[in-house]
């Protein structure tokens, strides 16, 4: 299975049978590794409704026929546009063809601006994916919160994607605490260095994880990890 960091918080997962993309923000993203037109996806997984996370969801869904999976209000927003969606909620799980998906809490907001007005799109969320026994946690945009301990205790996490940009989300210090509480085997920092205000040193963060016995991977946009190499 191949997991590719596409820039900002966007991650593409190819299980060999199914292709997933989480939070596709490529168009207008100065750090994007690919163009939205190049993405092949069967499912689009969304953590919340901000434009830097849902930016290319509609275009990719229309071109590929992918199903959008999101918190119910966000799913309804796209369903009203005629797209295929599955609307879920916090704590809910479902066994999809690619594996089991669970939405977890995240401390953040969720809205999109339409004609100058912010439209509420439900709560923000994180996503836990059990992909045939390999467990991935994408925290979405979030502050540090103590219930991350429960997320880590409920299931062993093989790979976590954690925001470190600060300003809009937790910064590196809080993300290190999150990693300690989640105790994943591997961590990839996301949501940093895309634009002003969230500049961070991903390599320094990855190195600091070693103190907790966690392997950090400060991937550049376009770089991938293969689950066969993650032990």
**Nearest partner of 210 among 190, 174, 185, 182, judged by Cα:** 185
Q: How many separate domains does the chain show?
A: 1
Burial label for 95, CB within 10 Å (0-12, 13-18, 19+), is exposed
CATH code at 169? 3.60.15.10
pTM over 0.95: yes
229 lies in some domain: no
228 lies in some domain: no
Q: Which residues span the domain enclosing 167?
A: 2-223
148 lies in some domain: yes
Structure tokens, 146: 């103590």
Reading the chain (231 residues) residue by residue, the pLDDT tens digits are 999 999 999 999 999 999 999 999 999 999 999 999 999 999 999 999 999 999 999 999 999 999 999 999 999 999 999 999 999 999 999 999 999 999 999 999 999 999 999 999 999 999 999 999 999 999 999 999 999 999 999 999 999 999 999 999 999 999 999 999 999 999 999 999 999 999 999 999 999 999 999 999 999 999 999 999 997
């Amino acid at each position: 299975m191949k997991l590719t960091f596409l820039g900002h918080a966007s991650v593409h997962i190819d299980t060999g049978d199914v292709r997933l993309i989480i939070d596709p923000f490529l168009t207008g993203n100065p750090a994007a590794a690919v163009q939205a037109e190049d993405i092949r996806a069967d499912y689009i997984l969304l953590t919340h409704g901000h434009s830097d996370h849902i930016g290319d969801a509609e275009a990719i869904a229309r071109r590929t026929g992918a199903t959008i999976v999101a918190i119910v209000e966000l799913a309804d927003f796209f369903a009203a546009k005629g797209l295929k969606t599955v609307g879920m909620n916090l704590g809910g799980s479902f066994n999809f063809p690619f594996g089991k998906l669970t939405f977890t809490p995240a401390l953040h907001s969720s809205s999109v601006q339409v004609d100058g007005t912010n439209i509420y799109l439900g709560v923000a969320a994180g996503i836990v994916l059990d992909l045939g026994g390999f467990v991935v946690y994408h925290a979405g945009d979030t502050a540090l919160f103590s219930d991350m301990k429960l997320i880590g205790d409920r299931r062993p996490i093989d790979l976590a994607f954690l925001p470190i940009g600060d300003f809009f989300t937790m910064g590196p210090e809080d993300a290190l605490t999150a990693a300690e509480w989640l105790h994943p085997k591997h961590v990839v920092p996301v949501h940093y260095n895309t634009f002003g205000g969230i500049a961070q040193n991903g390599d320094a963060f990855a190195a600091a994880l070693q103190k907790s016995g966690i392997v950090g991977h400060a991937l550049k946009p376009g770089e991938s990890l293969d689950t066969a190499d993650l032990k």
